[in-house]
Amino acid sequence: MKELLKYFVENIVAEKEQVQITEEESEGLKTLRLKVATEDMGRVIGKDGKVIRALRAALKVAAINSKLRVNLVLDEAENAKI
């Protein structure tokens, strides 16, 4: 899951080195926390949230094939370049 998300996001953002993905798991739910540079937040969210919804849908399809539950959370990076 993490590698799939990283592949998608690195092809969307301009600051590829700022992409950070952490993985947490509890009670059968895998939570992926995505941090990108502040400048790339708009690209990841997309117009009316279309890109982030598409990312979540792709992860959901992959999770169903693996018999998992997955959740994607977008966090703002604390140390983003200004």
Each residue's pLDDT tens digit, 37-74? 999 999 999 999 999 999 999 999 999 988 889 999 99
**Which domains does the chain carry?**
2-24+34-76 (3.30.300)
Q: Please name the helix (run of DSSP H) or strand (run of DSSP E) that holds residue 65, with its range, or none.
A: helix 50-65
Q: Over the stretch 6-33, which tens digit does the pLDDT of each residue have? A: 999 999 999 999 999 999 998 889 999 9
Give the up-direction half-sphere exposure of residue 76: CA atoms within 13 A in the CB hemisphere: 7
pLDDT band at 76 (very low <50, low <70, confident <90, very high): confident
- Residue 82's pLDDT is 41
Angle of helix 50-65 relative to helix 2-10, nearest 10 degrees, comes to: 150
